[in-house]
Amino acid sequence: MKNIAILCSGGDVSGMNPAIKHFVEYSIQKGLNPYFVYDGYEGLIDNRIKKATYEDVAGIITRGGTKIGSARSKRFMQPEFRKIAKENLDTHNIDMLVVLGGDGSFRGLDAFYKEQGIKFCGIPSTIDNDIHGTDYCLGVDTALNIIKTSIDAIRDTASSFKRALVIETMGRDCGYLALISALTSGAELCLIPERKYNLHDFEENFKTQIKNGRRYFIAVISEGIEQSATEIATWFEEKIGIEARATVLGHVQRGGNPSIYDRLMAYKFISFAIDGLLEGHNDSVACYTKSHFKYKSIFEVTGTPHKLDKELLALLDNMDV
């Protein structure tokens, strides 16, 4: 029987636990021995590798985060530690690896494959949804639902007080979370790194809206823009003349009970990744584009900068303000 391992790298996402559960069950179904690598590439270097059983994954489908831990490993960026990582995998006779992670995690994996020849399949997993070659990354739907619930709650208090509420989402340099949230929560303002803006351009319109009866504003901004949520709130107070508050959602966006969509995508991503490894796709990322799964070369995925979908950006440009 062949041995296959799974690890999580980079920011955790809700959907990793359902993926880990299906990894164990599907591996056994396919006649493979499943292994866990704890704490990402750090655990690979320190030989925290353990055979996995059904018992290990019982009850984890409802939990956010990852049962096997994750890490951002600086050591794995260095060839000498990648060599140790390979030796540890060899000790357990593991020659196939499934990696749940983001762009940075895949770059390390690419180097690992080129130097050490380990067969792998990457599964895009980041709430930022910023990986080239895939429309969807595991965890995004749960994060969007958490943001939606938060904005809905914030709207209640914004409307009660005649206030502008500025809500900052995560996303690093990508505005996907903020844009989708703004469009689906009826926000009046959305600021993301992909679009240059000048707050002055909104002033006349917003003041007119207040004169015409608007009681409150919801602004959704991405953490990657140059100004902070507090600065945008100050602008509302000073230039628009409405009391304002800022909310930085932070890490609540990464946790929580995985949504149905993320549970289903976790299931599909894992089956696709393991099938691919068994069919001889040795150095690919499982990508989901235009409602289909595809194996894409890690070189293509990590070698091309991510760009936000043009159609989505067009929706932002046409936002009714």
* DSSP annotation of 72: -
Rounded CA gap, 43 and 196, in Å? 41
Closest separation in Å from C-beta 153 to ligand F6P: 21
List Cα–Cα distances, 60 to 23, 101, 127, in angstroms. Answer: 12, 19, 20
| Closer to ligand F6P by Cβ: residue 245 or 254 | 254
Please, what is the minimum distance in Å from the beta carbon of residue 10 to ligand F6P? 6
Q: Which of 39, 103, 128, 130 is catalytic?
A: 128
Distance CA 176, CA 197 (A): 16
Q: State the nearest-atom distance from the C-beta of 74 to ligand F6P, in Å.
A: 13
- Residue pair 96/5 in contact by the 8 Å Cβ criterion: yes
Cα–Cα distance, 104 to 53 (Å, whole number): 29
Q: Which is nearer to ligand F6P, 88 or 169 (CB)?
A: 169
Is 171 or 258 the residue whose CB approaches ligand F6P more closely? 171
Written as six digits, the tokens of 224 are 């990657």
Task: Pick the closer one to ligand F6P by CB: 70 or 88.
Answer: 70
Q: Which is nearer to ligand F6P, 172 or 214 (CB)?
A: 172
* Structural contact between residues 4 and 33, judged by C-beta atoms closer than 8 angstroms: yes
Respond yes or no: is residue 309 known to be catalytic: no
Nearby residues of 208 by Cβ (< 8 Å), 6 or more positions away: none
Question: For 179, how many CA atoms within 13 A lie in the half-sphere containing its CB?
Answer: 26
- CB 130, min distance to ligand F6P, A: 8
Q: Are 230 and 104 in contact (CB under 8 A)?
A: no
Nearest distance from C-beta of residue 70 to ligand F6P, angstroms = 10
CA distance 319 to 36: 46
User: In whole angstroms, what is the distance from residue 313 CA to residue 68 CA?
Assistant: 37
Pairing of strands 49-51, 32-37: antiparallel
Q: Indicate the SS3 state at residue 271.
A: helix
> Are the beta carbons of 187 and 219 closer than 8 angstroms?
yes
Minimum distance from residue 188 beta carbon to ligand F6P (Å): 24
Tokens of 233: 């709130």
Residues binding ligand F6P (CB under 6 A):
11, 102, 126-128, 170-172, 223, 254
Positions marked catalytic: 128
